[in-house]
Amino acid sequence: MSATIKQVAKQAGVSIATVSYVLNGTGTVTEATRQRVLAVVSDLGYQPSHAARSLRGRSYTLGLALPAQPGRLADPTLAEMLASLSDTAAACDYSLLLATARADKSASEMCLSLARTGQVDGLVLLDMQTDDERAQALCEAGIPHVCAGPPARCNSPFVTADGYSAAILAVRHLLQLGHRRIGLIQLPSELAESEPRYLGYSTALAEAGVEADPQLVVEAGRGEQDGFQTMQELLSLPEPPTAVLACSDELAFGAMHALYDAGRTVGQDISLIGFDDVPLAAHMHPPLTTLRQPRRRMGEQLATLLIDIIEKRQPKTNHVTLPMRLMVRKTTARVQ
Amino acid sequence: MSATIKQVAKQAGVSIATVSYVLNGTGTVTEATRQRVLAVVSDLGYQPSHAARSLRGRSYTLGLALPAQPGRLADPTLAEMLASLSDTAAACDYSLLLATARADKSASEMCLSLARTGQVDGLVLLDMQTDDERAQALCEAGIPHVCAGPPARCNSPFVTADGYSAAILAVRHLLQLGHRRIGLIQLPSELAESEPRYLGYSTALAEAGVEADPQLVVEAGRGEQDGFQTMQELLSLPEPPTAVLACSDELAFGAMHALYDAGRTVGQDISLIGFDDVPLAAHMHPPLTTLRQPRRRMGEQLATLLIDIIEKRQPKTNHVTLPMRLMVRKTTARVQ
DNA sequence: ATACTCCGCTTAATCGTTTCACTGCTTAAT
DNA sequence: ATTAAGCAGTGAAACGATTAAGCGGAGTAT
């Protein structure tokens, strides 16, 4: 690998301990020796071994517990959150380990394993499911972790975007435009994000005195393909919706595709709102009205919260809920 | 953290060496002792410390050297490649470390550092630049690595999609449709992918005896915004192109947006081809004709190639070039 | 009978750090 | 004058694994 502390010590004519003290700023060392040691260090290009270092104490590595599904990393929402998580972690001198669940182990086993082997000091749980085993397992084992989304049955710390209020915002916007038959294309119900969005949807309808038609609420998958199909179903209803709220931009894109195929003009004949505001949303034709998720801030919060917990700093709060913003573009219009 | 090998040894009434032999399948142990040890292991939930293990030998971790730019992880092309890279690595019992370059260190320093501290056994270099310092630095230091794309001045092993042939495919397709004024929206020239695509473009034109108009070749950024602007520029030319090849789907999406704004009908008035075939491409309106990159296969190849190198297995080839496929959809049509 | 090998296991060295306990030595306080 | 405290630095014990070497005893070939 590279030079060891022993070689540095020898060449600088001091003991190993002294080198360590110089490098860590602990202990008391004369300026002269300090300089001599530092010179040798940069001369040899010495870097302390990560393994030896983490053998005593922490590994300064955070685990990213990815969902079992193989392609999930490709989710643009997730990716941007990761990017800022990574930046924040790096700024605090932590590395990030991608923890993909293997077929032969359950997701929670893999999390436990990572922590027990000391490969990571704590974990970020991404893509929370409603009955997520991971959070509970980590809670019981007393392993530091943060959930990206509301956790299931335990009070794990978490960071989440306020999907409930966001859905209310969206539906109110549609109501103001005169819509009464408002459809909802939901994400798979096993996703923890799904429930609050539905709740917001029905709350907003109820407060406006509009009766909710269960036919207008459909659960879909996660891809454009699913949005495409689901929108087709909604259109084939005897009394189709005049506006639709899709629970992700991907679903909304699929829905737009279906609407074009059906000869409908989005933002005229029918209104559509997405969820997330992925970069592409503003560049669709027409640009998609959607709810912006503060992805970068979520990543930051996840990282700092987890690091606080690992380093035993008592964080102010155990759970952060960030507001979403309605980005009004061209896919919503007054009902005809 | 968790139980240590010492505790297991004690409770099983054997020496720590025996426990180690049982766990690694090395050495000779009676079936009886074996069972006794294994029982205690599962009883205590023992897992060997990663740090101690990597102190002698490898860390079984691959580094992902991300580009310095903060948001790059969000690139859908990159993300899907990562997903399969991660799967493959996991199948070989390797973990993945995300290496984000910090502001205060150069990208190559960070790669060297990761390897010298023994945090990773090797690195995957993503998002290659034309004058990439990373590959050279790692070559000189003799550190195992693989480039995702053609490396600059050294003969590092690499895996790449054949952008040269792909561009030829695309331009030939347009030529067959009768187009003669074919525009090219290029990626930033600092990306290593950029050059071969341009070469393919001009080769295809030359072999058809079409004179290339330098005005039709424009270098853009990476986002939809850049595609949008660049297309506007092309349209404002005295003699605008009848077909355009964009060097990424993102650029193509932006271009589509600009075309709509200009009142042009894509796939009728003007033809457009993208690069990559991100999932969304098939769901645009109209669906985008594009060149499919074998992202999953690239991820697999990167992982296996790097692991082969790390484990000193002589791989068959040092460089893999995978073919791209032209996906003909609805944005290309006979010239009017 | 001698020498050799194989079995099942233990002892101890090793990997590269951090850190506690200690040693001379000088300076300050009682 | 004696004790206490501080400084600059050393030695060695951890940390938790892997692995080479060794050690009786049994089996086998010469």
Which of A84-98, A321-335, B33-47, B78-92 is predicted with the least confidence, judged by mean pLDDT?
B78-92
Q: What is the pLDDT of residues A160-207, one digit of tens each?
A: 999 999 999 999 999 999 999 999 999 999 999 999 999 999 999 999
For residue A254, list chain B residues with Cβ-Cβ distance below 8 A. 283
pLDDT of residue A234: 98
Q: Are strands B145-148 and B122-125 parallel, antiparallel or unpaired?
A: parallel
CB atoms within 10 A of CB A215: 15
Give the pLDDT of residue B316. Answer: 80
The domain limits of chain B are: 1-46, 163-292
What percentage of chain B reaches a pLDDT higher than 90?
81
Residues 6 or more apart whose Cβ sits within 8 Å of residue B197: B163, B164, B166, B167, B184, B186, B187, B247, B275
In this complex, the residue of A47, A95, A102 whose CB is nearest that of residue B116 is A47
What is the pLDDT confidence band of residue B273, given thresholds at 50, 70 and 90? very high
Contact yes or no for B55 and A70 at CB 8 A? no
> HSE-up of B43 (CA within 13 Å, CB side)?
12
Judged by a CB distance cut-off of 8 A, whether residue B142 touches chain A is no
How does pLDDT run across A68-96, given as a tens digit for each residue? 665 666 677 887 898 889 889 999 999 99
Statement: residue A311 has pLDDT above 70:
yes
The predicted pLDDT at position A230 comes to 98
Q: Is the pLDDT of residue B152 over 80?
A: no
- Residue B131: the pLDDT is 85
- Segment A135-147 shows an average pLDDT of 95
* Residue whose entry in the numeric block shows the structure tokens 């801030």: A297
Residues of A in contact with B84 (CB under 8 A): 70
B98·A95 Cβ contact <8 A: yes
B49 touches strand D (CB under 7 A): yes
Query: Is-contact A124 A81, C-beta < 8 A?
Result: no
Task: Give the count of alpha carbons within 13 A of B300, CB side only.
Answer: 6
pLDDT recorded at residue A314: 80
A237/A89 Cα distance (integer angstroms): 49
* pLDDT top residue among A82 and B326: B326
E-strand ranges in chain B read: 61-65, 95-99, 122-125, 145-148, 158-161, 182-186, 217-219, 243-246, 271-276, 289-292, 319-322, 325-327
CA distance A150 to A166: 15
- Nearest nt (C1') from B33 Cα: C8
Taking CA–CA distances from B68, the nearest residue in chain A reads A87
Q: Residue A293: is it exposed, middle or buried by C-beta count within 10 angstroms (0-12/13-18/19+)? A: buried
- pLDDT at position A70: 59
- Side chain identity, residue A14: V
Please spell the DSSP secondary structure of A146-212, one letter per residue: EEES--SSS---EEEE-HHHHHHHHHHHHHHTT--SEEEEEPPTTBTTHHHHHHHHHHHHHHTTPPP
Nucleotide whose C1' lies closest to the alpha carbon of residue A24:
C18
Phi, then psi, of B270 in degrees rounded to 5: -150, 145
Q: Which of residues 156-195 of A touch B (CB under 8 A)?
A: none
> Mean of the per-residue pLDDT values for chain A?
93
Token duo for residue B10: 């004690």
**Which pLDDT value is given to residue B102?**
72
Structure tokens at B130: 């034309």
Neighbours of A242 (CB within 10 A): 19
Residue-wise pLDDT tens digits, B210-251: 999 999 999 999 988 999 999 999 999 999 999 999 999 999
CA distance A335 to A180: 9
pLDDT at B68 over 70: no
Cα–Cα distance list, A166 to A41, A173, A195, A196 (Å): 54, 11, 13, 9
At A66, the pLDDT band (50, 70, 90 cuts) reads confident
Per-residue model confidence (pLDDT) at position A254: 96
Length of chain B, in residues:
336
Check whether B304 has a pLDDT greater than 80. yes
pLDDT at A104 over 90: no
Q: What percent of chain A shows pLDDT beyond 90?
A: 81
- Residue A327 token pair: 């980005």
Give the SS3 label for residue A247.
coil
pLDDT greater than 90 at residue B193:
yes
Question: Do B1-46 and B163-292 share a fold?
Answer: no
Q: What is the mean pLDDT of chain B?
A: 93
Query: How large a percentage of chain A has pLDDT more than 70?
Result: 98
What's the topology of domain B163-292?
A: Rossmann fold (3.40.50)
B1-46 has which fold? 434 Repressor (Amino-terminal Domain) (1.10.260)
Answer whether the bond into residue A240 is a cis peptide, omega within 30°. Answer: no
Looking at the predicted structure, is the pLDDT value of residue B114 above 70? yes
